[in-house]
Each structure stands twice: as structure tokens, then as C-alpha cells.
Amino acid sequence: MINRNTGKYNTGHSNTGDYNTGNRNTGYRNTGHINTGYCNTGYRNTGKYNTGYCNTGDKNAGDGNTGKRNTGKYNTGHSNTGYWNSCNDETGYFNTTTSDTVRVFNQTISRCEWDQTYLPDFLYFNLTEWIEESDMTDEEKEAYPEYKTMGGYLKSYKYKEAFKKSWDEADPEDRERVKDIPGFDPDVFYKISGIDLRDGQTQRIST
């Protein structure tokens, strides 16, 4: 049974808009669940033409990207095929062989060393979060009236805000292990994440 749709030609539940396939979509021609925008395929995307999860930019084919045309994950920038880049076009073009080195914190290390590196869990974070109606504030209900149809709303975080939230919720031991990543540079980490480990303190910076 289809219910609580606002719009036309929806397949699913609690959609706001037209031609959605899935649940709790806001916009048009989304395929998946809890998308806000247009022509998204996946889950919890805010933007357009995304294939993946939790993107807040456009035309991404990966997850957790802020930017456009990324095929990797957790990038701030455009056209990256790697992870956690705060730049554009990182990884190279038209290669048919795998290089023996990778760039980490703007330094070159061996791929063998990188493949054996432990990456803390908090580095895998979401840029969107579904907020149930019961957990919404009065201000959120006023700003997102579609919650009445959808049963909640999709909250978007800026990249550094999401990074900091994941850090705050992480196990202290897992946080500490970020310093074991080969080539770890607290200045670079600060610029990318907004988390200041340069003097052992953490703080939020402007996003």
C-alpha cells in the first residue's frame, strides 16, 4: 500500500515531489531512500545526479562527497578518485597500471606501507543524517514542514562539521591512532578536517 505521498507518480512511501521510486524522497526522479534533490540514485543524497550514499554535491559516483564528479569517497573538491582529498583531480588520468607509491598528507609513501595501514573508524563519516519527527526541534519543524509527510527530515552537515561530529563520537583510542597514519601531518589534517592536533587540543574552525 502506498501512503503519505505528496506529488505524482511516486512508487513508495512518504515522498514529496514527483516520479520518485523509494521512500522519504524530497524532489524529483529520485531512486532510493531519503534523497533531497533531483535524479539521485542511492540513499541520503542532497544534490543532483548522485549515484552513491550521503553526498551533498552533484554527479558523484561515490559516498560522502562534498563537491562534484567524485568517484571516490569523503572528498572535498571535484573529480577525485581517491579518498579524503581537499583538492581536485587527485590520482591521475588514463592509467592502466597501479603505481608503487601513494600520496598521503602531501607526502609520497610506498603503496605496500599504505595497504598495511590501519585507518580509524571515525574517518568514515556521513554528511547526512535522518532525523525522526520525534527528535526534531520546534525550529527544525518550522524550517522543514515536509516532515509531516515524511515522518522526519534529512539533515545535512558541512564537511568539517561532519568530520568533527564523527571525531567527537569516536572511541579515544581510535582517535589517537590517526597519528599512526604514515606521513601524518597535523597541519594538513587541521586544514582538511578542522580538528586541531597540533598542540594536542581539538577545536572547530570555520567551514
Mean pLDDT of 64-72: 83
What pLDDT does 96 receive? Answer: 61
Give the residue ranges of DSSP H helices in 7-156.
111-115, 138-143, 147-150
* C-alpha cell read off for 25: 524522497
If we measure between CA atoms, which residue out of 203, 176, 180 comes closest to residue 190? 203
Q: Poorest-confidence range of 71-85, 128-142, 186-200?
A: 71-85
What pLDDT does 204 receive? Answer: 45
Mean pLDDT of 79-98: 74
Confidence of residue 12 (pLDDT cuts 50, 70, 90): confident
Mean pLDDT of 52-79: 83
Residue ranges of domains in the chain: 98-207
47-64 pLDDT, tens per residue? Answer: 887 888 888 888 787 888
Q: What is the overall mean pLDDT for the chain? A: 85
pLDDT over 70 (residue 120): yes
Mean pLDDT of 36-49: 84
Mean pLDDT of 113-121: 93
pLDDT over 70 (residue 139): yes
Instruction: Scan for cell 529520485, then name that residue.
Output: 30
What pLDDT does 200 receive? Answer: 55
Position with higher pLDDT, 65 vs 123: 123
Position with higher pLDDT, 152 vs 94: 152
Position with higher pLDDT, 181 vs 44: 181
Report the SS3 class of residue 172: helix
For residue 175, the tally of other CB atoms under 10 A from its CB is 18
For residue 20, the tally of other CB atoms under 10 A from its CB is 29
pLDDT over 50 (residue 205): no
